[in-house]
Structure 1
Amino acid sequence: MRSWSKSSILKNKWCQFFSVACTAGSLGYAVAKYQSSVNDHTSIKTSGIQNDGWSCQNFKDDGICSRFPSSLFPQISAATKVQDSLITRTEDLVSEPSHESPRITQIMRYGFPSLTNVRSLDDFVISYDTRTRIPHWVFEHLTAQNVAKNDTVDRSKSDFHEDGSIHDYFRSTNQDYKRSGYDRGHMAAAGNHRLNQRHCDQTFLLSNMAPQVGRGFNRDKWNELEHHCRQLTRKSRNVYVCTGPLFLPRSEDDGNLYVKYRVLGSNHVAVPTHFFKVLLIESESRDMHLESYLLPNAAIESSTPLSTFLVPVEVIERASGLLLFDKINKVKFKTVNGKSIGWF
């Protein structure tokens, strides 16, 4: 639920950042203009969940949990009535789950961005898009414990493999990526799941992948962002990460906006134009911080700082159709994208 207590201040900031979006209601144009500014600065060249009271303790062999704990459902924000979002709250009503809680309850503490085709694995949660053959979003909960180096876990022992829980019609295969020129890019990073080999292996499910430019992006700037997420756990109590693809419009020679993207292989795996990561960082003192990144799926100069790709979270929400961490009253955030909101 979105509850801005200083809506006029935020509206002004939003309008200043994306004046066209505020006056004409054109998100596509605003994002296109933003991307143009990014290019100038970076030299880029280019549901159904059923509440049946069952606990999510017993996983199938493929790691997919088909049932969810009933205690989770009051927190599902995608099912919240619109009028409820108008209620201004002054307290954070979502208490921290205990370590004994089902893992999905811990990961999805602040609500689901959407409820489409949700799958819970041992240490992360996926919403899978059967049309594009890539995730809608992937959610992770990182702590210093689950990202710590573990000599018993070796990612070189993990193989990219199909997700057997997805119907043959809608799953991607290794053959789709072969000789495509694109990497199989992790949405939930292997380096974020080091408690045991099984957790690492599950990050290599193809349902956790999306085609990414390799050199300059997946192996470089995107990897740098993943490393940043892990670094945050050193001084934070919890780090919640939502990652996903975007398909953003670009202006063509005729002056109109178009969404165009390549597909790979016989299964037509969609190649996103952009990727996002939104981070909710909870300090040991329980202060809340938000960081939201939007990166083009293109080679990026190594000297370009990650801060170049910080955008208002509303840009990502509007473009993706998702609501991110909306169970938190935004007055609870001490900083957004490294800057004080102004009410502390």
Structure 2
Amino acid sequence: MNKKLAFRFATLSGLAIGSFIGGIAYERKRCITLLDQSTNPYLVHACKDIKTLTAMPALPIFGTVSAATPFVPDVPQPSKLVAEPNRVSEIMKYGFPGMDNIRSYSDYVLSYDRRNRVAHWVFEHLTAEGVKSSPNVDRSKCDFKPDESIHPFFRSLNTDYKGSGFDRGHLAAAGNHKSHQQHCEQTFYLTNMAPQVGSGFNRDSWNRLEKYVRKLTKTYSNVYVCTGPLYLPKKEADGKVYVKYQVIGNNSVAVPTHFYKVIVGETADGKLELESYVMPNQVIDDKTPLAVFQVPPESVERSAGLLFFDKISRKQLQKINGKKV
């Protein structure tokens, strides 16, 4: 009886192994045929291991385990949002402040803070030609809209801002990107927005700073500007120091306590000058000179946890905040 059971077991095992080997052989042949005929990069990745399969010590020749049918996802079409590689290189010529959740648009680059639903930083490269307004650009056709490349868990929405009392404040200013309609429209993605006090800040003093940055293109051949939020500590009545900030909407979009701009101007002969500003997110007397908000760039770096223009040695800078280095 035991011999009969052993015989049946051996027969069934042989059939199973034979079917497995046959299936692997069929899959290998199919993948090789598909590889020879396809340019799909996902398919190539799925099948390349099978095509190059070799025997390994102590393993059978069919030592790679894979699905019977390779998974071939739809190949995403190139997004019209994404900047050309050479444009990204131009914008980020002097280094990335950080590498968290980078997004590149046609004419600016940002790093997105998924927890706060506001960018860590937004980077722009401006020239006199690039900031000229084209008669074909109509800002009224630009709509605030969520960036669907961000996971739904981490997006900010227009409904978060509705009734909050805060403006959807641009980080990369729309006025810096009015040479092309698409460039201007892309500054209205909510990834480029942060809750800002409206009257007295976004529409006034912050706007003055944005106009000042555009005006620098008349002095410098290239202007590189990094903009972002800060959440700065404040001493409370109990004598302790806290970091406190409001959040708005169902997605808890953080309201920054301050905003910064760090700017490098590059002259035609390659000389570099740096300016850095921090403004509180509150009503500011519009007569207050911009120079009042100048701060050492190192203080912004420490507060933001970022390194600005790290490809530039401080020795290369001719001036910092208007003072010779």
TM over 0.5: yes
SS at match of 1:212: strand
Partner of 1:280: 264
Rounded Cα–Cα distance in structure 2 between residues aligned with 1:154 and 1:103: 23
| Gap runs ≥5 in structure 1 | 1-57, 70-101
Count of residue pairs the alignment pairs up: 249
CA offsets 1:230-274 (integer angstroms, 9 cap, x no match): 000012110000000000000011111000011000000000000
How far is 1:64 from its partner?
3.6
- In the alignment, structure 1 residue 193 sits paired with structure 2 residue 177: yes
C-alpha separation in 2, matches of 1:283 and 1:292: 18
1:294 Cα deviation after fit: 0.5
Q: Distance in 2 between matches of 1:221 and 1:286?
A: 31
Q: 1:60 is matched with which residue?
A: 79
Pairing of 1:30-45 with structure 2 (within 5 A): none
CA shift in 2, pair 1:59/1:226, >3 Å: farther
CA distance in 2, matches of 1:214, 1:194: 22
Number of the residue aligned with 2:150: 166
Question: C-alpha separation between the residues in 2 aligned to 1:292 and 1:116?
Answer: 22
Whether 1:122 aligns to 2:141 is no
Distance 2:82 2:305 in 1: 25
Could you tell me which runs of 5 or more consecutive residues in structure 2 were left unpaired when the two chains were aligned: 1-76
Give the match for residue 48 of structure 2.
none
Q: Which structure has the higher relative contact order (CA within 8 Å, separation 6+)?
A: 1
Q: Deviation of residue 300 (structure 1)?
A: 0.3
Amino acid at match of 1:151: P
2:306 is the counterpart of 1:322: yes
1:225 and 2:225 correspond: no
Aligned mate of 2:115, from 107, 115, 131:
131
TM-score in terms of structure 1 length: 0.71
1:285: Cα distance to partner? 2.5
Contact 1:245/1:274 (<8 A) preserved? yes
Could you tell me the TM-score, scaled by structure 2's length? 0.75
- Asked if the contact 1:64/1:165 (under 8 Å) is kept, the reply is no
1:111 and 2:73 correspond = no
Matches of residues 297-316 of structure 1 in structure 2 within 5 Å?
A: 297-316=281-300
Looking at structure 2, the residues matched to 154 and 282 of structure 1 have their Cα atoms a distance apart, in angstroms, of 30
CA RMSD of aligned residues (A): 1.2
**1:237 and 2:221 aligned:** yes
Secondary structure at the counterpart of residue 138 of structure 1: strand
Match of 2:231 in 1: 247
SS at match of 1:301: coil
Displacement of 1:59:
4.3
Residue number among 270, 273, 283 corresponding to 2:254 in the alignment? 270
The alignment partner of 2:123 has SS state of: strand
Residue 146 of structure 1 corresponds to 130
Give deviations 1:48-100, integer Å, cap 9, x for gaps. xxxxxxxxxx8414x146xx85xxxxxxxxxxxxxxxxxxxxxxxxxxxxxxx
Whole-Å separation in 2 of the counterparts to 1:190 and 1:261: 26
Q: Which amino acid counterpart does residue 108 of structure 1 have in structure 2? A: M
User: Where does structure 1 differ by over 2 angstroms across 4 or more consecutive aligned residues?
Assistant: none
What does residue 199 of structure 2 align with? 215
CA separation in 1, counterparts of 2:138 and 2:209? 21
Whichever residue aligns with residue 283 of structure 1, its letter is T
| In 1: Cα distance, 2:78 partner to 2:205 partner | 34
